Amino acid sequence: MEDVLNYDLVGYQRLDFKTDDGKQMDGYNIFVTHKGENIRGMKADKKYMPADALSKLGVDLDRLVGKKVNIFCDLKGKPIFIKEV
- CA within 13 Å, CB half, 14: 6
Q: What is the pTM of this model?
A: 0.87
Distance CA 21, CA 25 (A): 11
Element (H, E) at 63: helix 61-64
Per residue in 22-79, pLDDT (tens digit) is 999 999 999 999 998 899 999 999 999 999 999 999 999 999 999 999 999 889 888 9
pLDDT at 3: 53
* Helix, strand, or coil (residue 73): strand
> Is a pLDDT exceeding 70 seen at residue 4?
no
Q: What is the pLDDT of residue 1?
A: 38
DSSP notation for 5-62: EEEEEEEEEEEEEE-TTS-EEEEEEEEEEE--TT-SS-EEEEEEEEHHHHHHHT--HH
